[in-house]
Structure 1
Amino acid sequence: MNALVNMAAEEKMNPLLPPIPELVIGLIAFAIVFFFLWKKLLPSINKVLDERREAIEGGIEKAEAAQEEAAEVLKQYKDQLAEARHEAARLRSEAQEQGAALIAEMRAEGQRQREEIIAAGHAQIEADRKQAAQTLRQDVGKLATDLAGKLVGESLEDHARQSRTIDRFLDQLEEKADTSGAAR
């Protein structure tokens, strides 16, 4: 029996098993702390965690929205850039066409002016030739009349007869010149 008492005494001294009254008081204290934490602290912690989760989710949504908006703005800029390049190409093409048309117009105008200058030059040359021929005819006629007057010994001053004689003589000379020029 002593052995049993010793065992019982040893059993009471077991540090792993606390005495029953301490165990009951510990459980009551734990229940009070657990109840306090469950009713007061746990809702506050859950509230803070919910707010943080919503803020994170809201931030993610805002980031996604901002990314979508940035992608849309980038697409708009690319579209505008493509449109601007197309417009620049169209304007460059129009400028080249207008330049080519202007060059063609200026060439045509230059050609027309050249033709006018050449025609005016030919007309001036023809007028000068006719005037020179007329002056030469008068001078040759006067010299021929003077020479004939000296040969004949009388004055051939009758202007109408002189003019007819000179014209007939010069016409005969021109006919001979034309026939000899055509024969060559």
Structure 2
Amino acid sequence: MINTTEILLLAAEGGEKHNPLLPAWYDIIWSLVAFAVVLFVFWKYVTPRYQKVLDERRDTIEGGIQRAEAAQAEANASLVAYREQLAGAREEAAEIRDEARQQGTQIINTMKVQATEESDRIIANGATQLAAQRQQVVAELRSDVGRMSIDLAEKLVAGDLSDSAKQASTVDRFLAELDAEQTAN
């Protein structure tokens, strides 16, 4: 009988030639089993965790984008509100300037009226004082002129005009003549 070792030797010597690029059938089977186990572990444990991490990242990124969009919208709303407030402040400042100009013009006009009134009052007081002084001067002049005219008349007439009634009538007559001459001139 032929021994198994001989058969193997014969098969190895004279049998088919083996291609070194192709693995043996048992290597392929064991590689497929190992690949299936690794694939199962990946599919059962690694892939769900990986998917969970990816989902969390996606949620984080989408949440960040949403927060950024919300912040952008809020910033835009704040900018619009700021511009509206700025426009309102400019309008208010223009109104305040206009009101200040009007008040300034009104104050100037009031001061002009007051100055005119004060000037008129001062002129009226001056005219009143001038009239009073004129009357006083006229009264003093009448008495002086009357006395001088009596003295002159006494000298001219060489008579006595010491009677006060006569003196008063003479003075009045003399002054009336002077007034008539002044109005004629």
TM-score, structure 1 as length reference: 0.88
**Sequence identity, in percent?**
45
Query: Among residues 9, 12, 18, which one is paired with 2:16 in the alignment?
Result: 9
1:67 alignment partner in structure 2: 72
Residues 165-180 of structure 1: pairs in structure 2 closer than 5 A: 165-179=170-184
Residues 134-153 of structure 1: pairs in structure 2 closer than 5 A: 134-153=139-158
User: In 1, Cα distance between the equivalents of 2:40 and 2:178?
Assistant: 151
Give the aligned residue type for 1:162: Q
Residues 21-170 of structure 1: pairs in structure 2 closer than 5 A: 21-170=26-175
User: In 2, Cα distance between the equivalents of 1:132 and 1:7?
Assistant: 174
Runs of 4+ in 1 over 4 A off after TM superposition: 5-8
Deviates more, 1:117-126 or 1:145-154: 145-154
C-alpha displacement at 1:8, in angstroms?
5.6
Structure 1 residue runs of 5 or longer lacking an equivalent are none
Report the aligned-residue RMSD: 1.7
User: Does the C-alpha gap of structure 1 residues 7 and 125 become closer, same or farther in structure 2, counting only changes over 3 Å?
Assistant: farther
C-alpha displacement at 1:128, in angstroms?
1.4
Report SS of the residue matched to 2:16.
helix
Report SS of the residue matched to 1:14.
coil
Structure 2 residue runs of 5 or longer lacking an equivalent are 1-11
C-alpha displacement at 1:6, in angstroms?
8.6
User: In 2, Cα distance between the equivalents of 1:35 and 1:164?
Assistant: 156
C-alpha displacement at 1:160, in angstroms?
2.1
TM-score, structure 2 as length reference: 0.87
Which has the higher relative contact order, 1 or 2, with Cα contacts under 8 A spaced 6 or more apart?
Answer: 2
C-alpha displacement at 1:85, in angstroms?
0.7
Report SS of the residue matched to 1:9.
coil
User: In 1, Cα distance between the equivalents of 2:97 and 2:15?
Assistant: 111
Q: Count residues with an aligned counterpart.
A: 174
Report SS of the residue matched to 2:160.
coil
User: In 2, Cα distance between the equivalents of 1:93 and 1:122?
Assistant: 43
User: In 2, Cα distance between the equivalents of 1:110 and 1:34?
Assistant: 108
